[in-house]
Amino acid sequence: MAYRQTPARLQKDGEQRERILALALSRVADGGFTALTMQGLADDAGIATGSLYRHFSGKGELAAEVFARASQHEVDTLGTLLKASGSASERLSRGLHQFAARAWGSRQLAFALIAEPVDPEVDEQRLIYREAYAALFVTLLEQGIAAGEFQPQPVQLTAACLVGAIAEALIGPLSPPARAARDAGQSRVSLEDVSDALVTFCLRAVGARPSVLPKPASPTTATEDPP
């Protein structure tokens, strides 16, 4: 960058960078990381592609920053729910229901964040954010065990298992083929099906009392899609 870094210039640069990131997030929310192209983004922002490269070394760095911002927001939201009032079981249940509902409400974005095949820079961020989610569950597990609500267990490993279970339970129903089937009226999996099953799985897994599990809608597997 050869131009002079005056305070006014720095501020203008910072504002442009924020604007670009907001436009980039909106592209990912609409069409996944596939839709995040440097040319398309420059068009959205009404700037030359070269100006984008003043802010980001390339698609990988840009995608990683969009990912990190969106994920941090989800981590913060889940953290607030898990730290709210109520028993550890209630907080886990409420946090998971809300997390699933947020993913359901922004399916393209949620799938992009969790599982869309994308640049290795985003995969790096995924590993980092999985640890951030796991740290939230470690705290909750320690509280639940201390309160006698959950069975004693190695909390780091259980927290990792929870993070994996949650991500994987959401990947299928949020994936583009599943969304297309639902839009075409061919799928009967609802948000309630997914989040009740997920909450039951997680509460059982940590050894919560059976009385805190969601009531089963039906004793069969009839509300599920075929594989």
Binds its own copies (CB under 8 A): choice among 7, 46, 50, 219? 219
Residue 142 near residue 60 (C-beta atoms within 8 A): no
Residue 81 near residue 95 (C-beta atoms within 8 A): yes
Examine residue 192 and tell whether it contacts its own copies (CB under 8 A): no
Task: Give the per-residue contact string, 40-59, with its own copies (x = CB under 8 A; - = no).
Answer: --------------------
Q: Which residue stretch of 1-9, 40-48, 74-82, 196-204 sits at the interface with its own copies (rule: CB under 8 A)?
A: 196-204
Question: What single string gives the DSSP state of each residue in 154-192?
Answer: -HHHHHHHHHHHHHHHHHHHHSHHHHHHHHTT-----HH
From CA 210, how far away is CA 50, in angstroms rounded? 59
Q: Which residue stretch of 1-9, 19-27, 72-80, 122-130 sits at the interface with its own copies (rule: CB under 8 A)?
A: 122-130
Closest approach, Cβ 29 to its own copies, in A, equals 19
Q: E strand or H helix at 65, and its extent?
A: helix 59-82
From CA 77, how far away is CA 214, in angstroms rounded? 22
Which parts of 144-183 interact with its own copies (CB under 8 A)? 151-158, 160-169, 171-172, 175
HSE-up (13 A, CA, CB side) for residue 43? 7
Give residues in contact with its own copies (CB under 8 A). Answer: 115-124, 126-127, 130-131, 134-135, 138, 151-158, 160-169, 171-172, 175, 193-194, 197-198, 200-202, 204-207, 216, 219-221, 223-225, 227
